[in-house]
Copies of this chain bind each other. A is one copy, B any other.
Amino acid sequence: MKKHVTIYEIAKKANTSTATVSRVLSNSDYPVSPELRTKIQKVAKELNYIPNMLGRQLKTNNSMTIGVIIPSITNPFYSSIVLGIEEVARKRGYHVLLCNSHRSPKLEESYLNELVQKQVKGLIISSISQNNKLLLQLGKNGLNFVALDQSVDGLTSSQIHFDYKKAGYLATSYLIAKGHRDIAFVSSPLSRPSRQKVYEGFQEALREHEIDMEENWVQISSSEEEHSNENFEFKNGKLLTSKLLEQDKLPTAIFACNDMTAFGVMKELTEKAIKIPDEISVIGFDNIEFGNIVTPSLTTINQPDHEMGRLACNLLLDQLNGEAAESVDMILQPKIIERNSVAVLKN
C-alpha cells in the first residue's frame, strides 16, 4: 500500500488550512469562497485524494454502517430481506456489514460483540435465541436495533412482525374453502415462535370448521435434526411426506410450514406418482421466487420479504435520526398467492 494523501498535504499544496480543505471536501455547507473551493478541489483531484472515512468516523462518532445478522444468506427468504435492507441503506448513505449466524447462538453472540465494537450505528437481527441476554444488555446501553420475526421480551426496541397465526389460519381456511377437510400439516421443528404460531392458526381454522385434527397427519420433525445442513427444509419435507404416505387414509391437501418444505413435499409426491393437485393439493408459506418455477407452480402465503427488509432498514435509520418513535411494532399481514398447486374439491 502506498502512503495515503491526506487533507494536510492538500492544504499545503493549496496554501490553505486543513480546516478549509475539510470544509470543502466533506461537502459541509460552511461558507468557503468560490476561488478557494475550486482550487482545493483541483488540487485534491491532482493528488488523487481519497478521503479516509476512519478519521471522519472517529471524529464524528458515526460509522454510517449498520449490521445485519440473519441465519443464512443461502435461504432465499433472507437473501431477499438483505437485498431490501441494503437497498434503503444505500439510498440513505449507509453500508451493510453482513453476518450469517448459521443458526448458532454462539456465533450470533460473537458477531453481535464484534459489530458493536466496530461501532455500527444500528442492527437488524433475526435472532436464533429467543431470549438474548446480550442483545437486551446492548439495547439498554443504547444500541439501536430492529428485530425481525421474533419478540425480544422486556425491551423497548422496534420489531417487524408478520402475523403468523393469521397466516396459518388463512392458508388452512383457504384449503377448507376449496372443499378440503382432510388436511395434513408438514413442518420443521416448532422451535421458532413463528412456526408455533402458524401451527396454532392451522389448528384454529380446523376447530372453527369443526374438523377433527388427524394426529397422524401432523408431521413435525424433532428438533435434533435441524442443524444438519443447508438443504434441511427440503429434505425434511420430503422425508415427512414419505412418512405421511404410509398412513392408511391419506389427506387431500398438505399445508407445509414454508416453501422449501413444500418443495420437498411436492418432490416426494411426484416421485410416488401422486398427481398435484389432482390427488393431493399442496400449499406453502413464504412466497419465494421458486414457487413460480416449480411445476405445478406453488400456491402459497406471501410473506413480503423484500418489503420487510426495506421497512426494517427505514425504521432503523429513522430511529437513529430520532425521526421515529423509540419502539415501533409493525405487524405485516398475510396474503394468499393463488397458483396451481391446490385443487377445488367436488363433494
Contact partner of A53 among B118, B231, B263, CB < 8 A? B118
Q: Once the chains bind, are B80 and A74 in contact (CB under 8 Å)?
A: yes
A237 vs chain B, min Cβ distance (A): 10
Q: Once the chains bind, are B74 and A86 in contact (CB under 8 Å)?
A: no
Confirm or deny: A97 has a beta carbon within 8 angstroms of a beta carbon on chain B.
yes
CB nearest neighbor in B for A260: B293
**In the bound complex, how far is the Cα of B74 from the Cα of A100, in angstroms?**
15
Q: Once the chains bind, are B95 and A114 in contact (CB under 8 Å)?
A: yes
Q: CB within 8 Å of B: which of A233-265?
A: 234, 263-264
Contacts of A270 in B (CB 8 A): 295
Confirm or deny: A54 has a beta carbon within 8 angstroms of a beta carbon on chain B.
yes
Confirm or deny: A48 has a beta carbon within 8 angstroms of a beta carbon on chain B.
yes
Q: Once the chains bind, are B86 and A100 in contact (CB under 8 Å)?
A: yes
Contacts of A74 in B (CB 8 A): 76, 79-80, 83, 289
Known: A96-B98, A98-B96. A119 touches B293 (CB 8 A): no
Q: Once the chains bind, are A82 and B86 in contact (CB under 8 Å)?
A: no
A-side interface size class:
35 or more
What sequence of 0s and 1s flags, for each residue 36-76 of chain A, a beta carbon within 8 Å of any chain B beta carbon?
00000000000010111111011000010100000011101
Q: Once the chains bind, are B295 and A141 in contact (CB under 8 Å)?
A: no
Confirm or deny: A154 has a beta carbon within 8 angstroms of a beta carbon on chain B.
no
A128 vs chain B, min Cβ distance (A): 16
Between A76, A86, A96, A295, the greatest number of chain B beta carbons within 10 A of the residue's beta carbon is seen for A295
Confirm or deny: A290 has a beta carbon within 8 angstroms of a beta carbon on chain B.
yes
Confirm or deny: A294 has a beta carbon within 8 angstroms of a beta carbon on chain B.
yes
Known: A53-B119, A234-B293. A98 touches B114 (CB 8 A): no
Confirm or deny: A103 has a beta carbon within 8 angstroms of a beta carbon on chain B.
no
Contact partner of A100 among B1, B51, B83, B292, CB < 8 A? B83
Known: A95-B97, A263-B293. A119 touches B54 (CB 8 A): yes
Between A83, A97, A263, the greatest number of chain B beta carbons within 10 A of the residue's beta carbon is seen for A83
Q: Once the chains bind, are A97 and B100 in contact (CB under 8 Å)?
A: no
CB nearest neighbor in B for A87: B100
Contact partner of A50 among B95, B100, B117, B264, CB < 8 A? B117
Contacts of A195 in B (CB 8 A): none
**In the bound complex, how far is the Cα of B83 from the Cα of A230, in angstroms?**
11
Confirm or deny: A197 has a beta carbon within 8 angstroms of a beta carbon on chain B.
no
Q: Once the chains bind, are B2 and A142 in contact (CB under 8 Å)?
A: yes
**In the bound complex, how far is the Cα of B234 from the Cα of A83, in angstroms?**
19
A65 vs chain B, min Cβ distance (A): 8
